[in-house]
Amino acid sequence: MIRALVLASLLFSPISHAANIEPAQGPAVLTMSGHISQYNQGNTLVFDDALLNQLPQKSIRTRSPWYSGVHTFTGPLLSDVLKRAGSKGQQLHLKAINDYTIVMPSSDTQFEPILARKIDGKAFSTRDKGPLFLIFPFDQYTHLQNRTYFSRSVWQLIAIKVE
Amino acid sequence: MSKKPLGKGPLSIIAAAVLLMIISMMLMLNRQYDILEKSSRIGADNDIWVYAQLGYEYYRLSDQVERLLVDEDALQMKNLRMRYDIFVSRVDVIAKAPYANHATNPQIQNNLDALQKFIAETDRYLGPDVPLKYHRQDLITLRMALDQQQDIILNMIQFAKDDTLRSAEHYAKTLSEQSKTITSLVLLQLGLTLAFSLLLYRQNRLEHLRSDELEDLNLALAGATQRAELANQSKSIFLANMSHEIRTPMNAVLGMLDLLSTMSLSEPQNDYVITARSSAQHLLALLNDILDLSRLETGQIELEKTPYSPQQLLRECMRLMRMRANEKNIHLTLALADHLPQWQLGDIVRMRQILLNLLGNAIKFTEKGEVALCVSSNKDDLIFIINDTGIGMTPEGLSRLFKRFQQADKHIARHYGGSGLGLEISLTLIELMHGHIDVQSQFGVGSQFTVLIPRIDCDPPPVAAPSTQYAPQTARLNILAADDNPVNLKVLSAMLKQLGHQVEFAIDGAEALAKVQAKHYDLVLMDGHMPVMDGLEATRQIRRLGGDYAALPIIALSADALAESRSQFLAAGMNDFLAKPILLKTLEHIINKNCQTAPASPVKIDGH
């Protein structure tokens, strides 16, 4: 029932149903703030595991500088998360658990990065660069294999501020 | 020549050197790319950053422990675990980083081992699977353990800093080394390129020199050819001039001999005159041949195109040759095919010359048997075939035929005489007529000459030449003879007196024109070439006087019947044409003809 409501709110105008996003029940995984139009806690949108689970989960198979060999990363598309938050900004401030911050343009969603929650089917723990790891399909878009995009791949991601 | 184009050896060595250089250049660049690739990680997650983060998280963890020891807040335990997890993840990053080279560095490995030991111990009360509980003793233990790690972490940071410095230095050094190598390679390549350019330049110059030499040689050859041609030409001109000069007195000799033969001579005297005459005629024929040839050579001969009857021509040739054939007791026959064209457009004089030459040769070289002329035609050509049963020719002889001054065989030439010019003249004339001549011969059996002349059919000429016999002119005529040569005039005078006419002289055209106006003449004999005014111009002016002068018979005297065109004289207004050497008979004939067909003036009639 709840899922149906959420889906309905996605299908119809998200703004008129702004208040309808349920507050996070579980521990906060990702906090969205800034230039967004959907909120569930003050002027932020807090995702818990349940909320993230409602988004389509995508998988990327790629090599990366952080792990040896090819691994499968699974999680929602960044673009879906932004859409869910009703993001309107051009820039994203990504913040990691250790306060590491990086700024990237919203247009980077064209490369279909995901907020990986799992590596090879296993959930990321904090120890394992989790719970969220922004991963670009580096093997698909080889031109992303450079310093800029490696630095944009934030791990232990906990917050996104839209500007 | 010491300068030679470079062989294949040195060139292939240079090519190999260039190839080698390009390959090493590529390897060098590839290495540089690798180094750049490695350095591209600097700034993202390089060693110093990773270790700095480790140190940072270490102090945040220590800070959290201190805070909990001061303020016993169970809720803050969650934060402690988070800080601890972050610290662990940082250690993990260092341990797993594919770029960190701890495997080769025992000190880092030792430090990592110590840190992992610390994690293993701390996980017993702060690990993910342990329920969180505030336990002061554990915190104190943790603080002590953390204190022990401080030196390790500082040491790691210090080491990473040194290592980064070292690798940066190494990187800079490698880059500068490679730059040097690449620079020298580029210089070497520059040198090679220069060497190549020099080689090309040299090659190019050699080519130029060679083509210049060739050009010089060509010029020299062309010059030599031209000189040879000039020499040949001047000889020909000399020969022609000589022949021309000899011909005038020869004409006089012939004329005189002709006159002499009409006088009453004793038997031996008559015999001498006949011999002298035939010798002079032979000499004149030879001179004419030489002149003809030089004119043919210089393209001075132009063929006339007037209607003639081939059958008449052939019969005339037969008549002329009959005597010589009879003398040698040779059977001379003429076979005419049916449907021969009646009239042809062409140069009858030249046609006659060709046929007489070929027939004359055939008779000359035949001792017994027969000479047969067989004439036929097809739609394109008139075909003349002359067969003889003469001495024939060997293949070598055949190959020399048609060459100037050459007869097939020197001994034969001595035996039979002749200049050897006749065939060449015939050949050239036939070619001028766009015809063709072919010879087949078998030594000792006979020869066959085949001549093809392009057929140009035409209508009969408007007025057929009258062939009536003229009544002998008995009246004493008053005749003006114009010639610049006194010997010629003397011959003419003697002949005309012999014929019973009265003669007066003019030495050029202008004098003739004046005399004609001063006194009445029945006939003018006018030489073609004279100084001051030539015969053609004089005739034109006489005709222009009008009245009786339009009807005054003027006869051209041609020194060279073959070269001077009959039509040219007639066009100038002359009535007839008399070729030198002038023979008594022909002179008489032409006077009879012209003084009868053109009726004499009333004055003349009144006078008789």
Q: Map tokens 């006088």 to a residue.
A: B263
Instruction: Work out how many CB contacts closer than 8 A connect A with B.
Output: 45
φ, ψ dihedrals at B274, nearest 5°: -60, -45
B197 and B326 inside one domain: no
Task: Report the gap between the CA of B85 and the closest CA in chain A (Å).
Answer: 5
Pairing of strands B523-527, B370-377: unpaired
Nearest one of A49, A2, A45, A54 to A23, comparing CA atoms: A45
Q: Which of B45, B90, B122 to substitute to test the interface with A, most A CBs within 10 Å?
A: B45
| A25 touches B at CB < 8 Å | no
Look at A156 and B89 and tell me if their CB atoms are within 8 Å. Answer: yes
Cβ neighbours of A144 in B, within 8 Å: none
Q: For residue B137, what pLDDT is reported? A: 87
Q: Of B389, B390, B394, B395, give the one whose Cα is nearest residue B416.
A: B390
The domain that holds B66 is classified in CATH as: 1.20.120
Query: Is residue B433 a part of any domain in this protein?
Result: yes
Q: Is A150 on the interface with B (CB under 8 A)?
A: yes
- Tell me, yes or no, whether B121 and B78 share the same domain: yes
In a shared domain, residues B438 and B487 = no
Domain count, chain B: 3
Which has the closest alpha carbon to B289: B246, B326, B347?
B246
Place of tokens 């030991």: B117
Of B201, B228, B262, the domain-final residue: B201
A101 touches chain B (CB under 8 A): no
Rounded to a whole number of angstroms, the distance from the CA of B183 to the nearest CA of chain A is 29
User: What is the predicted pLDDT for the residue at B603?
Assistant: 38
Q: Token pair 């042809």 is at which residue? A: B344
In a domain, B59, yes or no: yes
Label residue A13 by pLDDT band (50, 70, 90): very low
DSSP assignment string, B337-405:
-TT--S-EEE-HHHHHHHHHHHHHHHHHT-SSSEEEEEEEE-SSEEEEEEEE-S----HHHHHHTTSTT
CA distance B89 to chain A (A): 4
Residues with pLDDT less than 70, chain B: 1-8, 36-47, 97-104, 403-420, 463-474, 560-565, 596-608
User: Could A156 and B44 be called an inter-chain contact, meaning their C-beta atoms sit closer than 8 Å?
Assistant: no
The torsion angles phi and psi of B576, rounded to 5 degrees, stand at: -155, -170
Q: A51 to chain B nearest CA, in Å?
A: 22
Check: CB of residue B368 under 8 Å from CB of residue B330.
Answer: yes
Residue B250 forms part of a structural domain: no
pLDDT at position B450 is 93
B-chain residue closest to A153, CA distance: B44
Q: Do A156 and B88 touch (CB under 8 A)?
A: no
| Inter-chain residue contact B82 with A126, CB threshold 8 Å | yes
CA dihedral B10, B15, B21, B26 (to 10 degrees): -170
CB B422 within 8 A of CB B430: no
Please say whether the beta carbons of B309 and B342 come within 8 A: yes
pLDDT, averaged across chain A: 83
A8 has pLDDT over 60 = no
Cα–Cα distance measured from residue A107 to residue A129, given in angstroms and rounded to the nearest whole number: 25
pLDDT at A6: 47
Same domain, B404 and B491: no
- CB A127 to CB B88 under 8 A? yes
* B479 strand-pairing partners: B503, B523
Tokens coding B199:
């080689």
| B170 & B42 share domain | yes
Residues in chain B: 608
Q: Output B293-301 pairs: Cβ under 8 A, ≥24 positions apart.
A: B293/B404, B293/B421, B293/B424, B293/B425, B293/B428, B294/B236, B294/B237, B294/B239, B294/B240, B294/B243, B295/B240, B295/B563, B296/B425, B296/B428, B296/B429, B296/B432, B297/B236, B298/B236, B300/B563, B301/B432, B301/B563
B158 found inside a domain = yes
Q: How far is CA B357 from CA B285, B396, B469, B521, in A?
A: 11, 22, 29, 41
pLDDT recorded at residue B277: 85
**Is B56 close to A126, i.e. CB distance below 8 A?**
no
Q: Which tokens sit at A57?
A: 């989960």
The count of C-alpha atoms lying within 13 angstroms of the C-alpha of A67, restricted to the half-sphere facing its C-beta, is 17
* Contact check, Cβ <8 Å, A97/B44: no
Domain membership of residue B373 (yes or no) is yes
Please count the other Cβ atoms lying within 10 Å of the Cβ belonging to residue B375. Answer: 20
Residues B414 and B484 in one domain: no
Q: Whole-angstrom Cα distance, residue B533 to residue B525?
A: 15
- Which residue of B37, B54, B85, B87 to mutate against A (max A Cβ within 10 Å)? B85
Q: Where exactly are the structural domains of chain A?
A: 2-162
Question: Are B430 and B521 part of one and the same domain?
Answer: no
Q: Provide, as residue numbers in chain B, all residues whose Cβ is less than 8 Å from the Cβ of A125.
A: 85, 128
pTM attached to this predicted model: 0.45
Task: Give the domain extent around B41.
Answer: 10-201
Q: Which residue of A has its CA nearest to B54?
A: A98
Among B89, B96, B116, most A C-beta atoms within 10 A, so best to mutate, is: B89
Q: Which residues pair with A157 in a beta bridge?
A: A96
Q: A150 vs B45: CB contact, 8 Å cut-off?
A: yes
Question: pLDDT value at position B469?
Answer: 56
Taking an 8 Å cut-off on Cβ atoms, the answer to whether B98 and A68 are in contact is yes
- The shortest CB-CB distance from B86 to any of A65, A66, A97 is to A97
Decide if B82 touches A, using CB distance below 8 A. yes
Closest partner CB to A126 (pick from B53, B86, B98):
B86
| Residue A119 clears pLDDT 70, i.e. is over it | yes
Residue B299 falls inside a structural domain: no
Residues in A touching B80 (Cβ below 8 Å): none
| Residue B119, in any domain of the structure | yes
CB contact under 8 A, B41 and A125: no
Question: What DSSP string describes A73-135?
Answer: EEEEBHHHHHHHHT---SEEEEEETTS-EEEEEGGGGGG--EEE-EETTEEPPGGGT-S-EEE
Q: Which residue in chain A has the smallest CA separation from B94?
A: A66
What secondary structure does DSSP assign to B100-162, as a single string?
A: --GGG-HHHHHHHHHHHHHHHHHHHHHSTTSPP---HHHHHHHHHHHHHHHHHHHHHHHHHHH
A151: chain B residues, CB-CB within 8 Å: 43-44
- Give the other-Cβ count within 10 Å of B583's Cβ: 19
Cα gap B439→A88, rounded to integer Å: 112
Which amino acid, B18?
Answer: V
pLDDT of residue B412: 60
The region that residue B598 occupies, defined by phi over 0 for left and psi between -120 and 50 for alpha, beta otherwise, is: beta
Q: Which of residues 44-63 of A touch B (CB under 8 A)?
A: none
Q: Are B149 and B94 in contact (CB under 8 A)?
A: no
Q: Is the ipTM of this complex over 0.95?
A: no
Distance between CA atoms of B239 and B247, rounded to whole angstroms?
12
Alpha carbon distance B241, B226 (integer Å) = 22
Residue B350: CATH number of its domain: 3.30.565.10
Q: Are residues B180 and B318 in the same domain?
A: no
Residue B261 CA, distance from chain mean position = 61
Q: Does residue A95 sit at the B interface (CB-CB below 8 Å)?
A: no
Whether residue B328 sits in one domain with residue B417:
yes
Quickly list H helices, B467-598: 486-498, 509-518, 535-544, 566-571, 584-597
- Could you say which architecture CATH assigns to the domain A2-162? Alpha-Beta Complex (3.90)
Nearest CA in chain A to B97: A66
Put simply, whether A37 touches B (Cβ < 8 Å) is no
Are both B56 and B172 inside the same structural domain?
Answer: yes
Half-sphere exposure for B542 (CA within 13 Å, toward CB) = 35
pLDDT (tens digit per residue) in A39-94: 888 889 999 888 888 899 999 999 888 888 899 999 999 999 999 888 888 999 99
What's the gap in Å between the CA of A146 and the closest CA on chain B?
A: 7
**Out of B45, B92, B99, closest to residue A127 by CB:** B92
pLDDT confidence of residue B606: 37
Edge-to-edge order in the sheet of strand B523-527: B502-506, B478-482, B523-527, B554-558, B576-579
The answer to whether residues B418 and B514 belong to one domain is no
Determine the distance from the C-alpha atom of residue A91 to the mean position of all C-alpha atoms in its chain, rounded to a whole number. 14
Residues of chain B contacting residue A156, judged by C-beta atoms under 8 Å apart: 86, 89
The three-point CA angle B25-B29-B33 to 5° equals: 170
Strand order in the sheet with A101-105: A45-47, A30-34, A157-162, A91-96, A101-105
Q: Is residue B338 part of a domain?
A: yes
- The Cβ of residue B453 has, within 10 Å, a number of other Cβ atoms equal to 23
Check if A67 contacts B (Cβ < 8 Å).
yes
Decide if B568 contacts B586 (C-beta within 8 A): no
